[in-house]
């Protein structure tokens, strides 16, 4: 155990990483809404968060002993990294933790949008209806389609790998940097207008850096094929949900799947509710048993910092 070191966990931790951490530090689990949260924060040397704990200057001012913040996940939008470092607080995260899980989700959503299953459960279809469905329902094969990836980071590259090498799709992408040396599949970099115009499936994998709010809005959606579908498993803020609803209702886009929203969860007036060609899921793309434990292992890097060693994944 790190003598006298306290680690505060605000949004839970999987059992094995939690037990590992308890052997090395004094651990307290308390959410930001707990009445004792600020008391625990005041003596915390390490802080472990996930998605909804906002680490900003106001929180840091109440944490005089804090030396490290661990984000169990990929995005860092809820952490003011410059403010942390200005106070000598390091930030670590788990950029590789959920790559496979989110990519799996993308193809699950893609297939549901493109291959109507007409499943039955409580009763079998009557013979006439059974025959009518078989004679009328038609899906689309992935090997005939072009996948456009907006954001070719770890998850985007994994999606491209599966699309090209597993399904035989043509893959095009747009990213701010040259990622060609990191690719494990045939994929062509294109500008954004070409991406939108050419994609049969647009999969969004960008972060919420400045300038990305409503990155995909009415102008971009208007460039897309009426037969195209869109999948967003990155950040809710990067997609204009109202513009997407207008495009879907107007027949200018064939379908969409969203796992992320802004705000989150969405309210009763969310414009995409009630549409048959939309799949809405409650931010579960990364929710596999393996990915959740992977994200919880951010505690390893928290301990590395507390023990004076360089962590594996420093926040950029």
How much helix, strand and coil, in percent to the nearest 5, is found in the chain? 35, 15, 50
- Which of 154, 157, 235, 300 is flagged as catalytic? 235
Does 161 qualify as catalytic in the annotation? no
**Is it true that the peptide bond before 263 is cis, omega within 30 degrees of 0?**
yes
Residue 310: is it exposed, middle or buried by C-beta count within 10 angstroms (0-12/13-18/19+)? exposed
- Which of 264, 307, 309, 312 is flagged as catalytic? 264
Does 11 qualify as catalytic in the annotation? no
Instruction: Please count the other Cβ atoms lying within 10 Å of the Cβ belonging to residue 269.
Output: 6
Nearest to 160 by CA among 179, 176, 134: 179
Q: 191-228: string of b/e by CB count within 10 Å (b at 16+)? A: eeeebbebbbbbbbbbebeeebebbbbeebbeebbeeb
Residue 87: both structure tokens together: 């106070």
Does 283 qualify as catalytic in the annotation? yes
Tell me the CA distances in angstroms from 66 to 27, 37, 42, 80, one per residue in order: 14, 14, 8, 14
> What is d(CA 138, CA 171) in angstroms, rounded to the nearest whole number?
23
> What is d(CA 173, CA 198) in angstroms, rounded to the nearest whole number?
10
- Which of 161, 213, 252, 283 is flagged as catalytic? 283
Using DSSP bridges, classify how beta strands 229-232 and 6-9 pair: parallel, antiparallel or unpaired.
unpaired
Positions marked active-site: 235, 264, 283
């Amino acid at each position: 155990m790190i003598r006298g070191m306290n680690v505060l966990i605000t949004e839970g931790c999987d059992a094995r990483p939690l037990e590992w951490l308890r052997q090395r530090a004094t651990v307290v689990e308390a959410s930001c809404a707990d009445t004792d949260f600020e008391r625990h924060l005041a003596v915390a040397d390490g802080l472990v968060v996930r998605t909804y704990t906002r680490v900003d200057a106001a929180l840091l001012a109440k944490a005089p002993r804090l030396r490290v913040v661990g984000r169990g996940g990929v995005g860092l939008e809820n952490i003011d990294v410059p403010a942390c470092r200005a106070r000598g607080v390091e930030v670590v995260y788990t950029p590789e933790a959920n790559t496979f899980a989110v990519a799996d989700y993308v193809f699950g959503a893609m297939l549901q949008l493109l291959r109507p299953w007409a499943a039955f459960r409580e009763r079998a279809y009557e013979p006439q209806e059974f025959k009518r469905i078989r004679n009328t329902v038609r899906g689309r094969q992935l090997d005939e389609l072009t996948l456009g990836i907006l954001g070719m980071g770890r998850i985007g590259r994994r999606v491209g790998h599966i699309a090209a090498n597993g399904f035989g799709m043509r893959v095009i992408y747009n990213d701010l940097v040259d990622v060609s040396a990191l690719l494990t599949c045939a994929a062509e970099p294109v500008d954004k207008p070409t991406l939108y115009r050419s994609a049969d499936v647009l999969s969004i994998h960008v972060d919420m850096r400045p300038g990305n709010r409503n990155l995909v809005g009415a102008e971009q959606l208007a460039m897309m094929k009426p037969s195209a579908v869109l999948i967003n498993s990155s950040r809710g803020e990067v997609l204009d949900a109202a513009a997407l609803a207008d495009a879907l209702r107007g027949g200018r886009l064939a379908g969409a799947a969203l796992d992320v929203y802004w705000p989150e969860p969405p309210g009763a007036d969310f414009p995409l509710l009630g549409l048959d060609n939309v799949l809405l899921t409650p931010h579960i793309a990364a929710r596999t048993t393996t990915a959740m434990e992977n994200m919880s292992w951010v505690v390893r890097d928290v301990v590395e910092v507390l023990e004076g060693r360089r962590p594996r994944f420093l926040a950029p």
